[in-house]
């Protein structure tokens, strides 16, 4: 079974390829250069990474090991909201504290939109994962190595080997897949919103339903309202902001 070289998930079909790497999703595919760079650094670089890993925590100045931990957050209100993940360099103690705070915030503010109903449990469980399953403390994680490589290259500390050429079709295909997924999700949300609108009308108090004409007008207005919301949602997805 092939595994994704970025997130390590098994890939069931159609991996995106770059050099000898395989990726499960366009978002993972985007990290391909960083992965390759982190693999091909000169030996002194890896000693530096180990020094960072075994050094002091930049947050509490306590003893390491220090690694990259991910904190997940979400807030939603009806059709709006954000869901994001923040990576931080710290000891596991600091990361757990921040994950507990993020857990509390998500359980208070995550649930107030439709997306939140689906994704708040995901965010909560991921924060639990940050607390319960830290990276292996005996060596720097691949994420830490990648981040250090990124910074060292940006700072011009090390020169990197030229990256293998990109086949244009691969890039195009990845972009197409991203667009397809986003469009599919937006369409799905549109359907969900429209259904919710219809159900809301049919479940409305009897007084609204008493005049058939008003009922139809209210229904059409509601569906239009949800169409506009979905269209806005789709534009947001297309522009890449979540």
User: Is residue 72 helix, strand or coil?
Assistant: strand
Least separation in angstroms between CB 103 and Zn ion: 18
* Residue closer to Zn ion, measured from CB, 25 or 201: 25
B/e letters for 115-139, b = 16+ CB within 10 Å, e = fewer, are bbeebbeebbebbeebbeebbeeee
Q: What is the DSSP string of 95-138?
A: HHHHHHHHHHHHHHHSTEEHHHHHHHHHHHHHHHHHHHSPPPTT
- Backbone phi, psi, residue 29, to 5°: -55, -35
* Residue closer to Zn ion, measured from CB, 35 or 124: 35
* Residue closer to Zn ion, measured from CB, 20 or 203: 20
* Residue closer to Zn ion, measured from CB, 12 or 155: 12
Rule CB under 5 A: say whether 17 interacts with Zn ion: no
Binding range to Zn ion, per CB under 5 A, among 4-12, 32-40, 68-76, 132-140: 4-12
The answer to whether 148 and 45 are in contact (CB under 8 A) is yes
Q: How many Cα atoms are found within 13 Å in the side-chain-facing hemisphere of 93? A: 10
Q: Which of 16, 18, 26, 28 binds Zn ion (CB under 5 A)?
A: 28
Rule CB under 5 A: say whether 2 interacts with Zn ion: no
Rule CB under 5 A: say whether 94 interacts with Zn ion: yes
Q: What is the DSSP string of 227-242?
A: HHHHHHHHHHHHTT--
Rule CB under 5 A: say whether 103 interacts with Zn ion: no
Quote the CA–CA distance of 70 and 79 in Å, as a whole number.
Answer: 25
Q: Which of 21, 24, 74, 148 binds Zn ion (CB under 5 A)?
A: 24
Rule CB under 5 A: say whether 99 interacts with Zn ion: no
Binding range to Zn ion, per CB under 5 A, among 58-66, 126-134, 177-185, 227-235: 58-66
DSSP state of 143: H
Q: Which of 17, 59, 105, 139 binds Zn ion (CB under 5 A)?
A: 59
Q: Which of 83, 91, 106, 124 binds Zn ion (CB under 5 A)?
A: 91
Quote the CA–CA distance of 217 and 224 in Å, as a whole number.
Answer: 10
Least separation in angstroms between CB 60 and Zn ion: 3
Rule CB under 5 A: say whether 123 interacts with Zn ion: no
Q: Which of 6, 18, 189, 193 binds Zn ion (CB under 5 A)?
A: 6
Binding range to Zn ion, per CB under 5 A, among 83-91, 107-115, 198-206, 232-240: 83-91
Instruction: Round the CA-based radius of gyration of the chain to a whole number and report it.
Output: 23
Q: Count Cβ atoms within 10 A of the Cβ of residue 211 and give its class: 0-12 exposed, 13-18 middle, 19 or more buried.
A: exposed
Residues that bind Zn ion (CB under 5 A): 4, 6-7, 24, 28, 57, 59-60, 62, 90-91, 94
């Amino acid at each position: 079974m092939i595994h994704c070289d970025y997130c390590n998930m098994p890939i069931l079909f159609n991996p995106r390829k770059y050099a000898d790497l395989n990726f499960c999703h366009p978002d993972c595919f985007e990290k391909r250069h960083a992965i390759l760079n982190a693999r091909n650094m000169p030996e002194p670089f890896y000693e530096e990474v180990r020094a960072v890993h075994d050094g002091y925590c930049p947050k509490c100045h306590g003893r390491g090991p220090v690694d990259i931990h991910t904190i997940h957050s979400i807030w939603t209100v009806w059709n709006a909201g954000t869901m994001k993940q923040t990576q931080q360099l710290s000891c596991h103690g600091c990361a757990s504290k921040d994950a507990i705070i993020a857990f509390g915030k998500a359980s208070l503010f995550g649930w107030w939109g439709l997306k939140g109903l689906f994704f708040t449990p995901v965010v909560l469980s991921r924060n639990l994962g940050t607390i319960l399953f830290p990276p292996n403390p005996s060596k720097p994680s691949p994420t830490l190595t990648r981040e250090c490589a990124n910074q060292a290259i940006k700072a011009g500390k090390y020169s990197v080997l030229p990256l293998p050429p990109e086949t244009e079709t691969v890039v195009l295909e990845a972009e197409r897949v991203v667009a397809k997924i986003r469009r599919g999700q937006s369409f799905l949300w549109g359907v969900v919103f429209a259904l919710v609108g219809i159900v809301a009308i049919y479940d409305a108090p009897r007084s609204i339903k008493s005049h058939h004409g008003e009922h139809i007008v209210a229904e059409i207005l509601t569906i239009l309202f949800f169409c506009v919301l979905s269209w806005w949602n789709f534009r947001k997805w297309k522009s890449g902001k979540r």
